[in-house]
Amino acid sequence: MIELNHLPLAELAALAAATMWAFTGLITQPIVHHFGATATNRYRITTAALVLILLTSLLGLWSSLKLDGLSLLVLSGFIGIFIGDTALMQALGRIGPRRNAILFSTNAPIAAGMGFIWLGETMSISTLIGCALVLAGVMIAIWWGKRPAGPAGEHRTEKVTGKLWFGVSMGLLAATCQAGGAILAKPVLLDGADPIAASAVRVGFAAACMWMMRALPMQWGKARQPMSWHWGIRSFISANFGLVIGMTLLVYAIKHGEVGLVTTLSATSPILILPILWLVTGSRPNRYAWLGSFAVVAGCGFIFF
């Protein structure tokens, strides 16, 4: 019998998190087209906030938070989740899950740049090589990774809705906000805050912001279609796969594994989503999609190691 102590649980958790995020993109894209990006994000964040608050209360984790760190967590939630996740949903609806996963992986070089500018961290040669690989991989996968449409036409998951440049801009904004939110939350976590409790504050505040925006007289903040059981269950699955289970697996992996290896494995979503798309669409991604995805993950490896 294999002992659990001999299994690479942290690394498996990181890969499981990346897999969850790959599936989340495919599950969430139809929800975005049905409700709109803002409403989809409101439903997902609200669901995740309720689950995280319940978990934090049941596990008695609120005591790990200190009052002087709450302002940083609130600001982190506003930037990283309220703005970042809303931009992520906008990008998902416009450029599809494959391109979205590629763009979101740019949070690695963006975080490295932020650390260099604001935290005084050094930029090693390997970090610069990693940043170059990520940027090259993104360009290859976005502009040349599209497979020519067959007789049945292009599959809906690969179609670009609206302007490509706007979808790419939203994806880069999402990655930038995610990196900024993580940097803001880092001092609080280092000060002893439990990651689940910190996530409950961040996601809870973002959910409150989403509902305050819903109350404003702006049509784009409202749902295009009414909620139903079918779409409610799908939104619940999307929220838990991406925001609850995926993030919890990543936190476990970072706590128990080597940070560089774990973070690199968790950034493999652009590769993992390709066979999933192949299975769903029946169309094999072309060589540029594979090449760009591998370049992005290799670049993340250089940065984190």
pLDDT at 155: 58
pLDDT of residue 15: 82
Residue 92, amino acid: L
Neighbours of 128 (CB within 10 A): 14
DSSP 8-state class, residue 215: T
Contacts of 244 (CB under 8 A, 6+ apart): 48, 51, 52
Helix 84-104 × helix 269-281 angle, to 10°: 90
Domain range summary for the chain, segments of one domain joined by +: 4-304
Instruction: Give the C-alpha separation, 77 to 75, whole Å.
Output: 5
Q: What is the pLDDT of residue 63?
A: 93
What are the tokens at 290? Answer: 């594979």
Of the candidates 251, 268, 193, 222, which has an alpha carbon nearest to the alpha carbon of residue 10? 251
Torsion sign, CA atoms 99, 101, 102, 108: positive
Contacts of 226 by beta carbon, 8 Å cutoff, 6+ apart: none
pTM of the model: 0.81
Asked if 140 contacts 287 with a C-beta cutoff of 8 angstroms, the reply is no
CA triple 196-184-42, angle to 5 deg: 60
Per-residue pLDDT tens, the chain, 305 aa: give them.
444 454 477 778 888 888 888 888 889 989 998 998 899 999 999 999 999 999 999 999 999 999 888 999 999 999 988 999 899 899 988 888 888 888 887 877 777 777 777 766 677 788 788 888 888 888 887 777 665 544 444 556 667 777 888 988 998 998 888 878 877 887 888 788 888 898 899 999 999 999 998 888 777 678 888 889 999 999 999 998 888 888 778 777 766 776 666 767 777 888 888 888 888 777 788 888 888 888 888 887 787 76
Q: At residue 145, what is the residue type?
A: G
DSSP H helices, the chain, are 9-35, 37-59, 67-77, 84-104, 107-118, 125-143, 164-190, 195-214, 229-239, 246-256, 259-266, 269-281, 287-304
Residue with tokens 């995280």: 52
- What residues contact residue 256 under an 8 Å CB cut-off, 6+ apart? 9, 10, 13
pLDDT of residue 147: 57
Q: What is the DSSP letter of 124?
A: -
Cβ atoms 231, 31 nearer than 8 A = yes
Can you give the pLDDT at residue 1?
40
